[in-house]
Structure 1
Amino acid sequence: MQNAKHMLTSLAFVLGLAALAGCSFPGVYKIDIQQGNVVTQDMIDQLKPGMTRRQVRFIMGNPLITDTFHPNRWDYLYSIQPGGGARQQERMSLIFSDNDQLVGLNGDFMPGVSRDEAILGTEAAPATTPEQPAQQPEQPKEQPAKPGSLEEQIQQEVDQVETVPVPTPEPLDANPQ
């Protein structure tokens, strides 16, 4: 009798622990799980038809999947599951010609269209229309610095600074050998 009672108590304790293991405790931090290649709209906007595989790899990074049966296709996959949230996945496929030049892309990104615009189904609207000029917030009028003040000294130093033009870098060669 004592032995059976001990067995039932142990069994109830084990079942309670098993049930509790599946529960999540409030206030416990759950990490975001990211997998794959991070692809941004800026990366897609840099892609141009005719780019070589090497140029595409420089912009996008190594593809997650290079299919043996489709050697002219690179697949980039990215998924994220925010802690406790639903999993979100994005995919991008790049198609190359037989002479290793980019000829097409397919997936969740479109060249020149931001993800927000694609989701909302709106085009980027101009901030103002020609009929309505932009309303500029009224700026407070600046008072001249008082003679001999620190502000006047700083302004004199700023006025004496000589500007130096910033060198413009030469564009990269679009057709490397």
Structure 2
Amino acid sequence: MLLPQQSTVLRLSLALCAALALSACSIPRLQFPGVYKIDIQQGNIITQEMIDQLRPGMTKRQVVFVMGTPLVRDPFNQDRWDYVYSYQPGGGIRGQERITMFFENDMLTHFTGDFKPTEENTAGATTSSPAAPSNS
């Protein structure tokens, strides 16, 4: 038989153990020192050079040659392709880049997303000037 004093100590000990056990479940980001976390890359790597090669009127095969196979081909809209790239450095914040291509009659009409063509390539794609005659 337990004395009232022992019973109180036992109850407090059990309550303390239960509180510690429950609080361990609610620690949001428990960091163990020395644990290596890998970098995570997913999707298609998209570069500005790839975007600068795109021109309206390119066929789907030409776009695949420049950009690679799209990550998402919308089954309900065959004229829309999505290229998504995400990167999360080990233990860091995830970044994401996205490009959506739109086609009409299997020809690229336009694209939207996180990249834009550079100024010199946009001007070169939309205007063409005749070659200057050579004097030699």
- Give the TM-score category using the shorter length: 0.5 to 0.7
The aligned residue for residue 74 of structure 1 is 81
The aligned residue for residue 67 of structure 2 is 60
The aligned residue for residue 85 of structure 1 is 92
The aligned residue for residue 118 of structure 2 is 112
Alpha-carbon separation, structure 2, partners of 1:48 and 1:8 = 69
The aligned residue for residue 35 of structure 1 is 42
Alpha-carbon separation, structure 1, partners of 2:88 and 2:61 = 31
Query: Which string of whole-angstrom CA distances, capped at 9 and with x for unpartnered residues, describes residues 11-65 of structure 1?
Result: 1441353255732245543332322221111221222322211121122111112
Moved >6 Å (runs of 4+): none
Alpha-carbon separation, structure 1, partners of 2:22 and 2:55 = 60
Map 1:11-22; keep pairs closer than 5 Å: 11-19=18-26, 22=29
Q: Aligned match of 1:23 in 30, 55, 59?
A: 30
Residues 1:94 and 1:21: Cα distance change in structure 2 (over 3 Å):
closer
Alpha-carbon separation, structure 2, partners of 1:58 and 1:4 = 71
Alpha-carbon separation, structure 2, partners of 1:13 and 1:64 = 46
Query: Which string of whole-angstrom CA distances, capped at 9 and with x for unpartnered residues, describes residues 122-167 of structure 1?
Result: xxxxxxxxxxxxxxxxxxxxxxxxxxxxxxxxxxxxxxxxxxxxxx
Number of residue pairs the alignment of both structures matches: 112
Gapped regions of structure 2 (runs ≥ 5): 1-6, 120-136
**What's the RMSD between the two structures over aligned residues?**
2.5
Alpha-carbon separation, structure 1, partners of 2:32 and 2:53 = 45
- Seq. identity, %: 52
Alpha-carbon separation, structure 2, partners of 1:89 and 1:106 = 14
Alpha-carbon separation, structure 2, partners of 1:71 and 1:103 = 14
TM-score by length of 2: 0.66
Alpha-carbon separation, structure 2, partners of 1:20 and 1:102 = 50
Alpha-carbon separation, structure 2, partners of 1:28 and 1:66 = 38
TM-score by length of 1: 0.52
Report the Cα offset of residue 6 of structure 1: 5.0
